[in-house]
Each structure stands twice: as structure tokens, then as C-alpha cells.
Structure 1
């Protein structure tokens, strides 16, 4: 029953987030700060993980294609499909649920503990719009992060092929280009926008409605990470079934 109550409260929070907007001059500053914290601040870890995981995917593919009758360009093809369809949009989002989600939950939860949210409401400010809406807008730039993850994953695979001696650069590029379906990019970005919405709202929900003190802030951050990851994986399955099955 508590789960149903939480789901209802979550959707009410989303509706409330768009009501009684904060003054644009204030909102603009909040949005720019959240873009810096949530998007720009995540580029380093995303770039590092994407490059090396792209390399690992390529090495594992190459080691499993050891039959001389199998063309080497399939290494590039398999790397591209893995990175564009799953690794960049889904697994980077789960990593971001840990980094960005925990940051959002702890920052809003700390404001709840220190009664700053109560002070906002006393001043007549819609605290949900003030706190959650800028994060929602900032994370609409999340596809930019995923684009970088896709690019660096493929570049990491290229580096692994060349320096590991698993094939030639020409074969890898042929594999990257082979049987490319443009809709796969659209599919990846549809997932990315859905996951961005989840990354902005689920951690905010757990931070905004938490009760207790500093210890509960840590517990709320952990819970938000778990549930954000679970919902991302479930929606990944549903969206894949809807968009790719024919």
C-alpha cells in the first residue's frame, strides 16, 4: 500500500512542479547552476568510463571472433551496436543515477532537514517549482552527455583495435558503417529523454519528502539510487519492446 501511496505522491509532485512558476530572473540562475552541477560536472566521469568500456567491448568481441572465416569488420559492427543501443543510453544512465541522483537527493534532503524548504513555502514560493523544475530543464541537455558517451565509446573501441592488434583501422571503420540503421539513434535518444526525466524527478521526490535528520539524508540517497536504477531498467525493457520489435 505504501508503494501505491509513493507512486501517487510522485505524480502529484510532477504536477505541482509546473504550477505557480518562479520569476524567470531567479529561475534562469537556478537552471544555469544545475546545468553546471548535473551536466558539465558529469562529463569527466562519463568520458572516462565510455572510452575504456568501448575498448573493453571491442577486445571481448575480437577475442570471441577467432574464426578466420569471420570477417574482422564485425568487430566494429558489434561495438557500434552495443554502444549505441545499450551501453551509452542505459548503463551511463544507471551510473548517473548514482552520481547525479545522489547529489540531487542529498542537496534537497539537506534543505528539508535544515528547514530551508519550509522557509521557501512561508515566503509563498512554490518550493517544488523552485527546486525540481531547474533540474528537470538542466537534464533536458542529457542527450548531449550521451552523444559524447557514444562517440568516445566508439573511439575507445578504435584505440583498442589499433593498439591491441585485433584488426585494421579500415576494417573497424567499415564495421562501424555497415548496415547502419538511423532509427537506432532515434531509439537511443528517446530512451535518453525518458531516463533524463527519471533522473530529475525520482531523486528529487526522495529528497523532498524525506523525514528525519542527517542520517536519513544518506538513506534517502541510497533509496533514490536503487529505485531510479530499477525504473530505468524496467522502462528500458518496455521501450525496447515497443520501439524495436516488429
Structure 2
């Protein structure tokens, strides 16, 4: 779907792809979404790990006041690029984007997420036991969310050149449940003016400042443990 389709105030989900087969070769481009109580775009491969969704592009869409813009589950190589998401802080919480179970080689690039309760970009494994791999999150701007980026489960990934401002809780939060196969790389991110921590990594291992991950050249004045940012 493309060319400025308008899907306002629909309730439920704007677009849902899933079921017995993964969704393949689909582009969702230049649509205007708003007011959905579930997700604007909910696309998934077969739950349980079979038949992933492949060759998805979700780009240049706008979303206003929906609970969640995007849910990705069991997808290979999806591209999420240049979407603009806004939400009134008085509305119920919900993540702007949820990258979930067994989503591999996803690229989340140059999106703008502004306002609202809930996380900007949440990486988890709510729909199955398998963490996602090779996630790239880069050049996104996230302002005035509860958490900017929240990572609960992820085996490998890179987070670079993101700007996260005025989170009411944490700018970047890595939970202790994260046990990466390859250390996650955080480089060149700026997180500031957060209510609690600008960056917090609760993992432990032989990485930066005793975490399981690599932190390089990040600017986040309130960091935990001390030393993951400058």
C-alpha cells in the first residue's frame, strides 16, 4: 500500500499481516495512520519460528495518537525507514515500535518518534523463546517517551548515531535479561535530559565497564555503570 492512503481513527489495527504463512515482498509506504488502539502496522511470520515474513519495507509513513505504530515478529531483513510517529502523552502507554521474537537483520533507520507514554523502540521476545539477531538501529530521533530504547532480549545488534532526549525514565535501557551471543555495540549515540538514566546497561560480563556489551563514543551524562558514556 502506498501513495498517501489515509487510515484515520480506525480502532484495532490499521494493517495486519500474519496467520498461517509469513508475509513476503510487501511495502507499506507513505500512509497516514492514527488512533488505533492496537497497532498501525502489525506484521509477522508464523509464530513459533516457521516461515518468517521476508522482504518487508515500512517507510515514510506518519502515525498520530495510536497505541503502537509497528509490531514485527519473526521477520527476515525488514526495513523500517523514515517514519514519523507522534503521540499525546495523555493517552495510554504503548511502544512506538516493537521488534520481537526471531526478527533477524532488521534495519530501523532515520525514524522520528515524539511524545507519549511507553517506549520508543522496544526489543523483546514476548511471542516466543528466540531472541532477534543482527538488529541495526541508527540515526533515529526519539523525544519525550518513557524509555527511548528498551532492550529486553537480543542476541546481536548495533545501535548508532541515535538522538534520544527528555525520556521520563531512561534514554537507553539494557535489561539484565539480555545475554547476547555477540556483544551489542552502542556507538555515537546521544541521550540526555532523561528522568532517571540517560543510558543504563544492567548486563554483566567482559565488555565496557563490566557489561556484556561494547559502548564507544556515546554522550549520555547520566550513565550506569559509570564509563559506558562520555
TM-score tier (shorter): under 0.3
Normalised TM-score (structure 1):
0.21
**Relative to total residues, which structure has the larger helix share, 1 or 2?**
1
Q: If you compute each CA radius of gyration, which structure gives the higher value, 1 or 2? A: 1
Relative to total residues, which structure has the larger strand share, 1 or 2? 2
TM-score by length of 2: 0.22
Higher RCO (Cα < 8 Å, 6 or more apart): 1
